[in-house]
Amino acid sequence: MNKHQKIAVLIAPFLMIGGYIAADYYLLSKHTSLDNKAEQQQVHRLVLKRTCELSKSPCVLTKDTLAVTLSLSDSKQILYVVTNQPADGVQLALNAAKPKSLTRLDDRKYWKISNPSGLDINTLRLAASINQHLYYAEINVAKSQHP
């Protein structure tokens, strides 16, 4: 065995132990940075101002200075969501359907989604990401009474 092989055999265990320690520190720092991001994103419930009857008038949800307005188009086929603060994303679930992302219009305050169920909206679930905060609401939509 030559001189280089003897040195390699002596150094290898130290490199192995050092690698385990370095990997542990790397995973620990990565895990704590994810926890910090989760702690930074707070979750808030939006409150309905009055009874929501989308077929007659827009529904307004609020939390502190944030206001979210839900309204139907004249044809009742498009549901609009307008926020008073720019949103990073908005998702909506109609009745028991899977949540769908809304399409952003001109800026990050105006969003829309087609409403294939027309007026048959019983429950509406909304989630919006605004300024690293998550806002949510579940609304039971009142049905208009026709004579």
This prediction's pTM: 0.65
| pLDDT 10s digits, 39-71 | 556 888 999 888 888 778 888 999 988 999 988
Residue spans per domain, the chain: 1-40, 42-140
State the CATH architecture for 42-140: Sandwich (2.60)
What's the token pair of residue 67? 């206001």
Question: Cα–Cα distances in Å, from 26 out to 23, 34, 36?
Answer: 5, 13, 16
Reported as a single tens digit per residue, the pLDDT across 114-128 is: 865 555 677 888 999
